[in-house]
Amino acid sequence: MHLASCARIAVTTICALGMSTATSQTYRLNGWYPCSNYTFSDSRSSDGLDAECATFAAPLCYPGICETPEFATPTITIFVKRIPATNGDPKNASNVWMLEGGPELASTSMERHMVKLHSMLEGNVNVYTMDHRGTGRSTLLDCLAAQVTTFGSPWGDAIGISEVGSCANALENEYGDLASFSMTSAATDISTFITEHSNGASTIVYGISYGTALVERLMHVAPPHLKEVSSGAGPNNFPFISKWDMDFGEVGDAFLKLCARDRECSSHFSSSGLFGTLQDVINQFDRNPNSTCAALVTEAYKEQSSDPLH
């Protein structure tokens, strides 16, 4: 399992002793049902129904985060999956949660890690994951009314700058205050589920990428009777998304400098070097974004960016 290779890892240990396992009417659980370890498979799954799946009804707006407007449905659906402990009674086993990043990603890519961890720990733990609100099999945050991210829209399943306004308006007209789909709301889902639908045993929550920040937020919103410890939760300096170009640029510059030190690579860019050649190409794109070369780049990367040339 290559989980250790993740650049940023958050691990929160939650000692949930004394937690209530009673099911509230507000956050009703629909499950657990036998389901496959893997959601997607090239062929019919042969691993049996070792996992269990469920949904629970979470409030659109938790108290103190937002207020549900009269026109909105007051609850949303949250999808949860687990592989129960097989060595001993799952009702008494410790729990491990594995949370995906994104923030738009569902939990399907965590399934192979769940299976391997469950095996490595010899079936002594319950392993959980969740599609955080707005993603996957939970209530999906998409611009259905505005038909943004459809294959026939200008940017396909990506969102172009020109589409942001109509998408935001469509979402606000459906849900009201979009703090309902904030990181704090997603973290409160996890805290609520552990409190109301877990077995009361000690719980470890592990997150990657966006899941790192989500778990850090979980530390802030968890009920006061939970004891929490975080390890490797992120850098001291906040990684602002607005600095991504600068941060990635440092890596790119280091890579380009390798060419200058390599005789074979540098021989192809003898006039201005690789860096100068790349800058010339970018300048040409800016001067003529409809050129044949620019069109090839746009076509190749249109699904990854609303502005592939930049």
Domain membership of residue 80 (yes or no) is yes
Q: What percent of the chain has pLDDT over 70?
A: 81
Question: Residues with Cβ < 8 Å from 4, sequence gap 6 or more?
Answer: none
Task: Among 231, 258, 287, identify where a domain stops.
Answer: 231
Please indicate, yes or no, whether residues 61 and 91 belong to a single structural domain of this protein.
yes
Domain membership of residue 289 (yes or no) is yes
DSSP-derived 3-state class of residue 89? coil
Please indicate, yes or no, whether residues 61 and 207 belong to a single structural domain of this protein.
yes
Task: Among 199, 231, 263, identify where a domain stops.
Answer: 231
Please indicate, yes or no, whether residues 77 and 224 belong to a single structural domain of this protein.
yes
Q: Read off the tokens for 232.
A: 């490797």
Domain membership of residue 94 (yes or no) is yes
Domain membership of residue 238 (yes or no) is no
- Write out the H or E segment, with its range, that includes residue 125: strand 125-131
Reduce the secondary structure of 201-242 to three states and give it as a string.
Answer: CCEEEEEECHHHHHHHHHHHHCCCCCEEEEECCCCCCCCCHH
Task: Among 231, 255, 283, identify where a domain stops.
Answer: 231
Domain membership of residue 96 (yes or no) is yes
Residue that has been written with the tokens 């889902």 in this structure: 189
pLDDT attached to residue 307: 65
Domain membership of residue 239 (yes or no) is no
How far apart CA 301 and CA 7 sit, in angstroms, is: 25
DSSP state of 25: S
How far apart CA 179 and CA 60 sit, in angstroms, is: 9
- The runs of H, that is alpha helices, within the chain are 111-120, 161-175, 183-197, 210-221, 244-261, 263-266, 273-287, 292-301
pLDDT attached to residue 183: 93
pLDDT attached to residue 122: 95
Q: pLDDT in tens for each of the 310 residues of the chain?
A: 444 443 344 444 444 433 433 334 458 899 899 999 998 876 555 556 789 999 999 999 999 999 999 999 999 999 999 999 999 999 999 999 999 987 788 899 899 999 999 999 999 999 999 999 999 999 998 888 888 877 777 777 778 888 888 989 999 999 999 999 999 999 999 999 998 999 988 888 888 888 888 888 888 887 554 544 444 455 666 667 778 788 888 888 998 999 989 989 989 887 788 889 988 888 998 898 888 888 888 888 776 665 666 6
DSSP-derived 3-state class of residue 102? coil
Domain membership of residue 309 (yes or no) is no
Chain CA centroid to CA 187, Å: 12
Please indicate, yes or no, whether residues 252 and 222 belong to a single structural domain of this protein.
no
* Residue 274: HSE in the Cβ half-sphere, 13 Å Cα cutoff: 17
Please indicate, yes or no, whether residues 204 and 104 belong to a single structural domain of this protein.
yes
Q: Which of 53, 52, 24 is nearest to 137 (CA)?
A: 53
Please indicate, yes or no, whether residues 149 and 280 belong to a single structural domain of this protein.
no
pLDDT attached to residue 4: 44
Please indicate, yes or no, whether residues 22 and 164 belong to a single structural domain of this protein.
yes
Range of the domain at 9: 3-231
* Counted domains in the chain: 2
Please indicate, yes or no, whether residues 142 and 212 belong to a single structural domain of this protein.
yes
Q: Read off the tokens for 9.
A: 């890892």
Please indicate, yes or no, whether residues 106 and 190 belong to a single structural domain of this protein.
yes
pLDDT attached to residue 163: 85
Handedness of CA 241, 245, 249, 251 (dihedral sign): positive
The pTM (predicted TM-score) of the whole model is 0.69
Domain membership of residue 290 (yes or no) is yes
pLDDT attached to residue 230: 45
How far apart CA 164 and CA 143 sit, in angstroms, is: 10
